[in-house]
Amino acid sequence: MFNILSLLQCLLPQINATTMRQLNQIILAMLAMSGRVTMLGISRWAGIGGSYRTMLRFFHTVIPWATLFWLFFRKHLFRANEVYLLAGDEVVVSKSGKQTYGLDRFFSSLVSKPILGLSFFTLSLVSVEQRHSFPIRIEQVIKSDVEKSSLSSTPEINKKEKRKRGRPKGSKNKNKTEVILTSELLRIK
């Protein structure tokens, strides 16, 4: 288990020693504990120096996770002769309650319907030869008020007269290079 902690030494240029010590305690506690992972559970399994207050301090610390993921990948996982693809995926985790930040209804492909939960968008480097995914950036998806209002309103079915075949008279050519990005595409950008 202590071999895992030695792998994290490459992250020291980006985070200070106190944060690294807290991260080490959290990792050891999470590997030892079973069941639900909560801050209270982590503090109970962390032992000396891993109080609940320490967990609060760690989780309120701003950490450059994308940089840390990249440093770890470059140091321990990158192979110069391999081909890597950049892939993005959105993951929905079901969650009940009312107080969780970002809780909303998101479409889950496993259930094939929108469910109450949290959504995370992940950018990963995928090794073609190893067929492994290495996450580089993970971000929680928070719906804006515009997205919520546009999804909640039911589309009205307009009964239009059937159009004649062909191009309508007086219609102009449209510039197809001007693309309006959806909220999902803007998030990826």
SS3 string, the chain, reads CHHHHHHHHHHCCCCCHHHHHHHHHHHHHHHHCCCCCCHHHHHHHHCCCCCHHHHHHHHCCCCCHHHHHHHHHHHHHCCCCCCEEEEEEEEEEECCCCCCCCCEEEEECCCCEEEEEEEEEEEEEEECCCCEEEEEEEEEECCCHHHHHHHHCCCCCCCCCCCCCCCCCCCCCCCCCCCCCCHHHHHHC
Residue 163 falls inside a structural domain: no
Q: Which among 16, 43, 65 is the end of a domain?
A: 65
Residue 59 falls inside a structural domain: yes
Residue 22 falls inside a structural domain: yes
Does one domain contain both 61 and 83?
no
Residue 143 falls inside a structural domain: yes
How many other CB atoms are found less than 10 A from the CB of residue 127? 17
Distance of alpha carbon 47 from alpha carbon 144, whole angstroms? 41
Does one domain contain both 58 and 88?
no
Does one domain contain both 85 and 61?
no
Does one domain contain both 84 and 139?
yes
Residue 2: pLDDT band by 50, 70, 90 thresholds? Answer: low
Residue 71 falls inside a structural domain: no
Q: Which among 33, 65, 97 is the end of a domain?
A: 65
3-state secondary structure 18-69: HHHHHHHHHHHHHHHCCCCCCHHHHHHHHCCCCCHHHHHHHHCCCCCHHHHH
Q: Which among 65, 99, 121 is the end of a domain?
A: 65
Residue 83: pLDDT band by 50, 70, 90 thresholds? Answer: very high
Mean pLDDT taken over the chain: 84
Average pLDDT over residues 12-33: 88
Sign of CA dihedral 27, 28, 29, 34: positive
pLDDT at 129: 92
Residue 73 falls inside a structural domain: no
Does one domain contain both 33 and 97?
no
Does one domain contain both 148 and 83?
yes
Does one domain contain both 98 and 33?
no
Domain count, the chain: 2
How many other CB atoms are found less than 10 A from the CB of residue 46? 23
Residue 138 falls inside a structural domain: yes
- Largest CA-CA distance found in the chain, in angstroms, rounded: 79
pLDDT at 181: 80
Average pLDDT over residues 40-68: 89
Q: What is the pLDDT of residues 103-143, one digit of tens each?
A: 888 888 888 898 999 999 999 999 999 999 999 988 888 88
Lowest mean pLDDT among 37-46, 161-170, 179-188: 179-188
Give percent of the chain with pLDDT exceeding 70. 90
Does one domain contain both 36 and 2?
yes
Domain residue limits at 39: 1-65
Of 65, 116, 126, 66, the C-alpha closest to 92 is 116
Residue 176 falls inside a structural domain: no
Distance of alpha carbon 107 from alpha carbon 105, whole angstroms? 7
Does one domain contain both 83 and 61?
no
Cα 186 off chain centre by: 15
Does one domain contain both 141 and 83?
yes
Q: What is the pLDDT of residues 137-182, one digit of tens each?
A: 888 888 877 766 765 555 555 556 788 888 888 888 888 888 888 7
Does one domain contain both 28 and 92?
no
Does one domain contain both 61 and 85?
no
